[in-house]
Chains A and B, each alone.
Chain A
Amino acid sequence: MDLQSYMPVPPGIRMEENFFSLDDILLSHERLPCRTESAFPRLGFLEKSSETRDIPEGTKMEMPLWLAKGLYERKRQVLSVELPKVYREEWRTVFGADPIVVDLHKMGPYYYGLGSQMLHFDSPENPEIANTILQTFIGRFRRTMDSSQNAYNEDTSALVERLDCLERSLKWVTCMYVCVIERLV
């Protein structure tokens, strides 16, 4: 099937998710370390380690993003979400030093998407996280675009392996347009 006729729903921009976007659905499947601030009665069967009927307060569990977003409330303490290690102080310093060297695919293939969604959880480090994500993208952007321009003539698969999903889709779109232009010229 010619890929040009099929136009899937793109992922959301900034902190919004597109309801029908398959990329956003996959993104919201990523797990986050959380801590319950109130008990969840009758849901004990979900916690394999405990044998109680309820999930007690203060349990540490890993929840997918969609569940964490659904349960999180600013006013009432139901859940507290911890930052995954890629968004913490140590890694932010690494990204600040040289964003190009990091293998973003291994660090979680949805670095930018998940980072934008983490801003929903009112962490005090939100401004720093947002700034780091932006600066990382800017730092890596040039390399990504250069490789798409050259992909026609050389094998760039080694570079592509280290890209996160957003960068890969960007590269794919650019490569497609480079091919179109090459054919016209």
Chain B
Amino acid sequence: MSLLTLRRNFFNVHVITTTKIYRENCLNEAKTEGKSELIPSIKFRHSCLLRNQRCIAAYLYDRLLRIRALRWEYGSVLPTTIRFHMCAEEMEWFNQYKKSLATYMRSIGGEEGLDITQDMKPPKSLYIEVRCLKDHGEFEIDDGTVILLKKNSQHFLPRWKCEQLIRQGVLEHVIS
């Protein structure tokens, strides 16, 4: 369920078509003056305009819902491949959403705040055994140790550091 690039050309075509249909309607209305024959056609065209408007609004709204989900999956920084598919306004929306979420997280859980994007599933232990599914390069953990994440290597790492990578599919939780 990936986000595809916003199709700007499609929107331009839609705007042109809408303007044409709308003008046709205005022209018909100007001629009516008491005759009600043209009204069904005007209603017909108006229904078409509303339909187009609804489809586009739903498409844009659905994109925003997916972008919101990205914050919970990938964290604050989105991978470049995904950012490439977002337009400037969507990036702006994402940043605003991030800020709102951060403000909220700071306000709960006492002085330090509470990161609710961690521990989405109930944790069973502090450290977990993970296997690397793809080459991810170097990874630094809290005590300064640097680990090389190479495909098929296994490591025993703190759960909170691995969570994001597991969600992205880089690491796999090994349940022995």
Q: Which residues of A contact B (CB under 8 A)?
A: 1-9, 19-22, 25, 38-43, 66-67, 70-71, 78, 184
Contact = CB atoms under 8 A, between A and B. Distances in A.
Given A5-B72, A39-B37, A21 B43 contact: no
A70 B47 contact: yes
Interface stretch (B7-15, B52-60, B139-147): B52-60
B148 interface: no
A9 B37 CA distance: 39
Chain B's interface size range is 20 to 34
Nearest to B24: A42
Nearest to A2: B73
A22 B47 CA distance: 18
Given A8-B65, A19-B57, A66 B41 contact: no
Given A6-B66, A40-B40, A71-B47, 13 more contacts: A2-B72, A2-B73, A4-B120, A5-B68, A6-B65, A7-B65, A19-B58, A20-B61, A39-B37, A66-B54, A70-B50, A70-B51, A71-B44
A66 B55 CA distance: 11
B1 A22 contact: no
Nearest to A46: B44
B62 A40 contact: no
Contact of B58 (A25, A39, A67, A70): A25
What is the predominant secondary structure among interface residues of chain B facing chain A?
A: helix
A164 B72 CA distance: 32
Interface of B: 1-2, 28, 37-38, 40-41, 43-44, 46-48, 50-51, 54-55, 57-58, 61-62, 65-66, 68-70, 72-73, 120, 122, 167
A43 B37 contact: no
13 contacts: A2-B167, A5-B72, A6-B65, A6-B69, A19-B57, A21-B58, A25-B55, A25-B58, A41-B37, A42-B28, A43-B41, A43-B44, A70-B46
A40 B41 contact: yes
B73 A40 contact: no
A116 to B, nearest CB: 18
